Structure 1
C-alpha cells in the first residue's frame, strides 16, 4: 500500500541469437551461464544475502505487480488476461530492467466463501505468474491488504480498501465506517473505528479470522506448488504473508514493540509452518514489521522492526517498505531530494537486517507521479535507488567505498499497465466509475502505462528505472555505485561525479552514465553478472577492470573474462558477465557508456588509476 505513512499526516534492445527459456538446451546451459534459470536451483538465504545455486549473491530488483489486484474490474487479478501478463513481463524486463516482481494476490478472491478456496481464481493467478517466470523474472507472492477490506466501506464512501472477503467483515459486525475529518485515505488506519476494530480482530483471531486466512494461504501455496513445474517453482523466491501490518488498536499496556512480539511474530511463525506444510520448506517468508517502524516523521515513528524475534535466519527475510512521508505530505519537505537524502533511512534497514541475521528486501518504495507533489518524484526516486545501491552519499563514496554496504533488493510500487485506463466501480457503485491514475483512493504511482497505440511506455525517465546493478556476484560485494544521470525536467542529475584525482577515469566517463562494482571472489566458475540497461548498447559500452579493458564487449565464451550475453527469458535485455574463477581476490569493474571508441592509452591510464584507487581505498 503505497505512501500510507505520509498520508497519515496530511527500446527494447533486440539482440540476435537470444535464447528462449523453453528452448534452452543443456549444451547452451553450459556455454552461457545463467542463474537459477539454467541450473534449476532456487534462491536461498546465506550470510545475510540471497544466494543462487552457484553460490553467488543475488540482488532482486523490479516492481509490484500490481495495484490492479486491489480493484474489482479484473476479479482481483493483476491482469485481464495471460496475454496482458506476458506483455507486461516482457516490458518490465526490457524497459524497466527488472529481474523480480512482488506478485499481489487477493484473500477476498481466493476465499470468497468461508472455507471454500476458489480454484478458478488460483488457476488464473498462477497462469499470470507463470508469464513472469517464463520471462526469467523471479516472483514472490503477497497477500495484499489496505484498510483491511473494501467490504468495510459503503457505496457512497470517499474511500475504499482491499484484502479480506465480505464474509470476514460480516462476521465482525463492525460499525458504520467513518474517518471523520480525513484529507487522505491513509488516515483511516488510525481514525476509522471500523478499520481499527477489524484489524484488531484479525490479530486476535476473533471469529477464527486468522485461522481461516492461514488455511487459505496454505491451500494457495500448495496450489501454486502443484501447478508450476519444478523449474518454474524454482523461480518463486518466497512469500510475503501480510502487507503493512498494523495493530488497529493496542491492548491495555501494549505498545508497538510488544504487539510485534506477542501477536505479529507468532502469526509469522504460524505462517511459516503453513509454508512448510504446503511444500515451501526451502523458501523464506518475507516478513514485514509494524508499518510505522521506519517512518521518517518522528511523530509517526513507532518502536519495532521485529526487535524481539531474535535471529531470523535463512527461513525469514526482513521485508520493509519506505516512502518519504515528508515529501508526499506537501508541507514537511520544501524543495527536492538531494544526494544522500535517504542514506540514513536505508542504513537503518541494512543494520536491522544484519542484526536479525538475514537478507532484506524493500518490497515497496515510490512517489506520486501526479498531483501537487509530483515534481519531487525524479529526485525522490533517484535518492531511493541511491539508498538501495549504497549506504553512502555520492559525495563520500569514492573516498570510503569499503563502507558502501550490501546492495539491497527492492521492488518499486508499482507496475500497472492499465494506469489511466481503468473502469473501476468504486465500492461497487455504478455512479462512481474511476478511470484515472491507479483507480484506487486517488493513487497514481505506476511507472508504466499503455500509450494511445497500445504500446507499453515508461512514465518515468528510463535512465532512472532501467539501471545497471549487480544481479549476481560471484563472491562478496564490497562496494557498488551507479550514476544514472537521470533527469529532473531538463536538468541532468549528477550526484556522484568522478573525482578530479582520477582524471583519466573522468575523461573516459565524460557526461555518460557509469557504474563501479568492487567484489571479493568466492571461487567457482560462474561469472559475476550485471544487468545492462538498454541505454548501454553493447557496441558503445566500455568496461575497465582488473580483469582487462574492453570497448564493445564480445559475446560470451568460457575464455572471455569480460563479455555480454542475453538475459534469460527472451526479452532482448542483456547482462555483462565478469569471470574470475579465483577465491578471496579483490576485483573491480567500471562500466560506462560515456566514451566513443576510447583509445588504448586512455583505457590503460584509467585502469591504472582505478587499480591504485582500489588498493588505497579498499585494499
Structure 2
C-alpha cells in the first residue's frame, strides 16, 4: 500500500468528516455480433420493441407496463485508465453484461459517458471514443439489457484539480477549464469529496458558468475562438446521439430507452435573488428543453429525456434539503422522465442515524419521488442509490440497501403492506450505484500524478460502492448478498401494477431480515410461504395486450420447485413457456432470460375470456422452501381471493 493509500484508509475512518455528506450526494476489440446471433431483447421470439412513456408509465411495444432495474455501468468512466470508458474492451463489456444478467436479473443499465473524451478540442468530436462507446453499449444491448446513456460529471471536471489534490472530478474537457481562468482549487477543511460542491470556489465558478452559458475564449491551432460553454456541450451531445443512432442497428437502438443529460445538477452559485426553485425554473428546465430539441434533431424523438432535479431537493437531512423537484415544469408528459438519486446521508454520516435501517425506513422519501413523477405526468426512476461497502458505516449497508429496494417496490412498509396494499403505488424503476468489474483492481494515476496510483475499491475519491468484483479466477462475483441483489420484480405487466412486494429474506451478517410477514388471518398462505422468499403482485388488466406478465425469478426460484398461487391457477413446478398465444394449458410458465443461459423469468398469461379491461389479477410467487401440497395451494388461493376482494383495489 502506498503512503497515499494509507492516508485514504485513515480518512475513511474519520467520523466527524462524514457530517459533510449532507452537502452532496454520493456522488475496443472485435466487431459487434451479427443481428441473427443476438438473443431477443425483451420478449420471447419476437423483435425488440422500444420502451416509451405512455400514460405516466414506461411501456413496451406490446402495451405492457415496464419496470427497469439494474445498475450504473460504471464509475470506471470517471477514471483515465480506460480512456473515459466503462470497460477496457468490448469483450469486457460483453462479459460484464452477461454476469449482470445472470447474477442479478437486471434488465437495464445507466451507461456513463465522458464529455471530456467526446470533445477533447472545442468543436471536434473524437469518433474513436464514440466508436468504442457505441460498441460497448451494443454489447450490453445484445445481452438483453436496456440502456440509457448519461453524460456524467462530478465537481465539474478533473481538470480543475491539482496534481497533488486530495480530490478529483470528472466531466468537462481541459480546454473548457483552462479558458475559464478559475482560481486554484481549494476545499478548505474538507474530509469528503462532496464538500467541494459548496466549498471549492473553482468548482462553484465553473458550474455557474456552465448554467449561464458563459462565452469562453479558447486558443486553437486555427486561432482563437469564442465558445459558449453550454452550447458546446449540447453540440457534442447531439453529435454523440446522432452517432449512436446511425451506428447501432435497428434492434439495438430500440433497446436504448432515453438519455440522461447531466448528472446531479447544481447551480454552483445562485445569482442575486435566485434560489433553488427559481434556478430550476429559469436555468435547469430551459437546459432540458434545449437538450430535448437536440435529441429530436439526432433521431431520438421517441425517447425521453431523463431529467434530474436539483441534486439536493430530496435530501433526507433537513440541513441539506432544498426546494425543488421541477415544481414549475408543469405536466411534461412522455417526452421526459423524472429522474433522481437517493443516498441516505444520515446513515452514511454515522452520526445522524444510529443503528441499522428498519422496515419502511425510506417509504416517505421514495413516496415523494412517486408523487413528483405523477404531478409531472410521467414515470419516475431512481438512477442512483446505494451505500458504501467500506468504512465506518459499511455495517449499515445490508439494511440500508434492503430498505431502499423495499421502498422502490412499494410505498408501504412491510408491516402494513397486506392491510393497505391498495395504497402500495407503482413500482419504481431504478439503477443501483454501481457495477464495476474492475473494483479493487484499478491502476489510476489520480489527477495524472504518477505518485498517486489508486488501486483500491472504486479508485475515485475514496468511494467503494461496486456490487461486483472479479475473483482470483477472473469470474464476476457479487460483493453483497445475492438475495438482496437478485430480486423478484415485475419487468413487464400486461396492464397496470396496483401493488407489489417482495420479501427477499436477505441477511445482515447472521441475521435473516424478514420485514413482510403474511397476516395471521391467512394461515394457509403463511404455511405455503414458510420461511422462504416470496413476492406478491396485483395488477389490473387494461385489455390492450395478449403478451404475458413477466417477473424475473431470482436464483433459487427453480422451475421445479417454484410455487405460484394466482387467480390464473396454482402450481408447484413451472412448465416451459411455449410462445405467445400458445399457453392455454399453461397460463403459468417460465422461460430463460434473454441474454443468459441460467437466469429465468416467470410468465403469466391470462385467458382472453377473463382478461377484459378492469379485470383484477394476482400472483403469489414463492421459492418452494415449504413444498406445498395441492390442497394447501388451493386453500391459500381461497384466502388470497378473499383478500383481493376486500382490499379495495380499483377496477378503473
TM-score band w.r.t. shorter chain: over 0.9
Matched, 1:306 2:306: no
CA deviations on 1:339-395 (whole Å, 9 max, x unpaired) are 000000000000010001001100000000000000000000000000100000000
Work out whether 1:93 is the aligned partner of 2:123.
Answer: no
Secondary structure of 1:263's counterpart equals helix
Go from structure 1 to structure 2 and tell me whether the alpha carbon gap of 1:24 and 1:83 turns closer, same or farther (over 3 Å shift).
closer
Matches within 5 A, 1:307-456: 307-456=327-476
Rounded Cα–Cα distance in structure 2 between residues aligned with 1:570 and 1:371:
35
Structure-2 residue corresponding to 1:514: 534
Instruction: Report the equivalent of 1:263.
Output: 283
1:233 aligns with 2:263: no
2:574 equivalent to 1:553: yes
Q: Tell me the equivalent position of 2:637.
A: 607
Question: How many Å apart are 1:5 and its aligned residue?
Answer: 9.9
Larger CA deviation: 56-65 vs 552-561 = 552-561
Change (3 A) 1:410 1:21: farther
1:568 aligns with 2:598: no
Match of 2:503 among 483, 488, 491: 483
- The equivalent position to 2:77 in structure 1, one of 56, 69, 79, is 69
Counterparts of 1:260 and 1:497, CA distance in 2: 42
| Structure 1 CA distance for aligned equivalents of residues 19 and 79 of structure 2 | 21
Whole-angstrom CA distance in 2 between matches of 1:618 and 1:578: 23
* Displacement after TM superposition at 1:601 (Å): 0.7
Aligned residues of 2:23 and 2:198 also touching (Cα < 8 A): no
Q: Distance in 2 between matches of 1:260 and 1:610?
A: 46
1:154 paired to 2:162: yes
Aligned to 1:577: 603
Q: Is the 8 A contact 1:35 1:52 kept in 2?
A: no
- After superposing on structure 2, the runs of 4+ consecutive aligned residues of structure 1 that deviate more than 2 Å are 3-6, 20-25, 33-41, 594-597
For residues 252 and 348 of structure 1, do their structure 2 counterparts lie closer, same or farther at Cα, with a shift above 3 Å needed?
Answer: same
Partners of 1:479 and 1:618 in 2: CA distance:
11
Deviation at 1:597, TM superposition (A): 3.5
SS of residue matched to 1:38: coil
Is the 8 Å Cα contact of residues 383 and 432 (structure 2) preserved in structure 1? yes
Give 1:452 deviation, angstroms. Answer: 1.1
- Partners of 2:37 and 2:205 lie apart in 1 by 53
Deviation at residue 6 of structure 1 after TM alignment: 6.2
State the partner residue of 1:16: none
User: What is the aligned counterpart of 1:250 among 255, 270, 273?
Assistant: 270
Deviation at 1:546, TM superposition (A): 0.5
Shift of 1:35: 3.4
What TM-score do the two structures reach when normalised by structure 1? 0.95
Distance 1:265 1:571, change over 3 A: farther
Are 1:7 and 2:21 an aligned pair?
yes
Structure 2 unmatched ranges of 5 or more: 1-16, 25-33, 216-227
Partner of 1:124: 132
Aligned to 1:284: 304
Q: Counterpart in 1 of 2:36? A: 22
> Which of 123, 148, 161 is equivalent to 1:140?
148
Q: Distance in 1 between matches of 2:75 and 2:465?
A: 10
Q: Between 381-390 and 535-544, report the one with greater CA deviation.
A: 535-544
Determine whether 1:529 maps to 2:514: no
Q: Shift of residue 34 of structure 1?
A: 4.6
Q: Select which of 197, 211, 219 maps to 2:231.
A: 211
Report the counterpart of residue 49 of structure 1 in structure 2.
57
Whether contact under 8 Å (1:141, 1:238) holds in the other structure is yes
**In 1, are the aligned partners of 2:72 and 2:433 still within 8 Å (CA)?**
yes
User: For the Cα contact (< 8 Å) 2:528–2:627, is it kept in 1?
Assistant: no
- How far is the alpha carbon of 1:300 from its aligned partner? 0.7
Match of 2:222 in 1: none
1:464 is aligned, of 474, 484, 497, to: 484
Deviations 1:205-233 (A, max 9, x none): 01210000000000000000000001100
Kept in 2, the 8 Å contact 1:425–1:432? The answer is yes
Query: CA, structure 1 residues 21+589, in 2 after alignment: closer, same or farther (shift >3 Å)?
Result: farther
Partner of 1:163: 171
Find the residue that maps to 2:498 and give its secondary structure.
Answer: strand
The 3-state SS of whatever aligns with 1:199 is helix
Is contact 1:562–1:577 with CA below 8 Å preserved after alignment? Answer: yes
Q: What's the offset of the Cα at 1:7?
A: 1.8
3-state SS of paired residue (2:326): coil
Provide closer, same or farther for how the CA distance between residues 5 and 551 of structure 1 changes in structure 2, counting only shifts above 3 A.
Answer: farther
2:48 corresponds to which of 40, 46, 56: 40
The two structures have a TM-score, normalised by structure 2, of 0.90
The corresponding residue for 2:618 is 588
Give 1:182's aligned residue: 190
Partner secondary structure for residue 540 of structure 1: coil
SS at match of 1:522: coil
Q: Give SS of 2:384's match.
A: strand
In structure 2, which of residues 114, 133, 143 is the aligned counterpart of residue 106 of structure 1? Answer: 114
Contact 1:9–1:329 (Cα < 8 Å) also in 2: no
Give the direction of change, closer, same or farther, for the CA distance of 1:319–1:6 in structure 2 (3 Å limit).
farther
Shift in Å, 1:537: 1.2
Determine if contact 2:18/2:348 at 8 Å carries over to the other structure.
no
